[in-house]
Amino acid sequence: MSVFSGKKILLGVSGGIAAYKAAELVRLMVTEGAIVRVVMTEAATQFITPLTLEALSGSKVHRHLFDPLEESAMNHIDLARWADLILIAPASADLLARLRGGHADDLLTTLCLATNAPLWVAPAMNRVMWEHPATKENIDTLRSRGIHLLGPDQGIQACGESGPGRLLEPGLILKALEQAFGAGPWAGLRLLISAGPTREPIDPVRYLSNRSSGKMGYALAEAAQQQGAVVTLISGPTALSPPKVDHFIEVETAKDMLEAVLHHASSADMFIGSAAVADYAPNMAPQKIKKETSTLTLELYKTVDIIGQVSSLDDRPFTVGFAAETENLEAHARLKLKHKALDLIAANHVGDHQGFEVDDNELMVFWEGGQRFLPRAHKTQLAAELLTLILERYHASHST
């Protein structure tokens, strides 16, 4: 049975082009068994008709604070009490400002003041508006009051610009809301994982790579997904079938992986860098290199340390790295923990049929002030144990 079954969700829709996505959101929530009532601001009705949301929710849309008919059907205080959860999607810049100010000048803001239900907001606006200090301050204040933020996403916007401010996709909003209804220990957390090797082209037909199979990263991604996380997996080329995760992005080179990871890092709560990223890459020759000389020297250039870039972001996610070592496991792992400014590192021995290309593994996990040994087990079992430990450390770091 879905965690949404029988749950009463009050969906607030404010004025913005993304309001049309409210239709899909209502449809998804109703399909999952939720009882949905919709409240629209006046501006929202300029973008989508109340009739559409009425048809999809199976219930009259509420719009006015002082309409005697609406008030007699269910007055605004009863409506505020009725909801198990209030979700505002899309939440415009203006609505966020009014929520922060504690306004009660229309039905939606009044309900938000009059309710004890958890409030979740999914902002959507032009990227400049989203990045404006006024909006940032509003968001910070709302967050400090315990309001849950969903997104926004990055990408092409209705105005033609590209950047943060897109409404989080309805499917992902639904996924994140599961946390509110207590589904799985990872529910509501957005996890970004890199996995597999990278391939660095030497010429159009040859490349440099490594023995990483991607199995550990895929197992982590699937286990976190099953435990409720919203998972984005960025993978180098592997022989594995695509895992069941929310977003699966395939890349080839370390440079591609860097771009993809940085694109998603700021909107993630956690980044697990399990990919075996090439440390050096050649400049690709435009044509196939001919075997005309008895020796061939390739000049290799150091690639960017992806995880180091993520951990130095201002709004960095909780960052977990891996260390595959052939010797001095603890010393090397602890050094990487420090140099890459990681929150946690999982280290294992490689070589001699250990670590890469095999189905089982054992891990030593280190963080500042602690360590734990996870004994040899199948990578799926190990992934589950490592996730439990990561979550424990994530909560510990957020409670200080």
Residues forming the site for ligand C5P (CB under 6 A)? 194, 254, 273, 275, 277, 279, 303, 305-307, 321-323, 336
Active-site entry in 73, 134, 156, 159:
159
- Identity of the residue, 341 or 377, whose beta carbon is nearer to ligand C5P in the bound complex: 341
**Distances from the Cα of 193 to the Cα of 39, 81, 221, 339, angstroms:** 37, 40, 7, 20
Nearest alpha carbon to residue 216 among 322, 116, 93, 61: 322
- Identity of the residue, 93 or 374, whose beta carbon is nearer to ligand C5P in the bound complex: 374
- Identity of the residue, 117 or 281, whose beta carbon is nearer to ligand C5P in the bound complex: 281
The H helix count followed by the E strand count for the chain is 14, 19
**Distances from the Cα of 370 to the Cα of 9, 307, 344, angstroms:** 42, 21, 10
Helix intervals (H) in the chain: 21-31, 50-57, 68-73, 76-82, 93-101, 107-114, 127-131, 133-144, 170-177, 215-226, 254-265, 306-311, 329-339, 379-398
- Identity at 94, one-letter amino acid code: D
CB of 367 to ligand C5P, least distance (A): 14
Identify whether 159 is a catalytic site residue: yes
- Identity of the residue, 109 or 212, whose beta carbon is nearer to ligand C5P in the bound complex: 212
List of residues 6+ apart from 259 with CB closer than 8 A: 251
Q: Which residues are catalytic?
A: 159
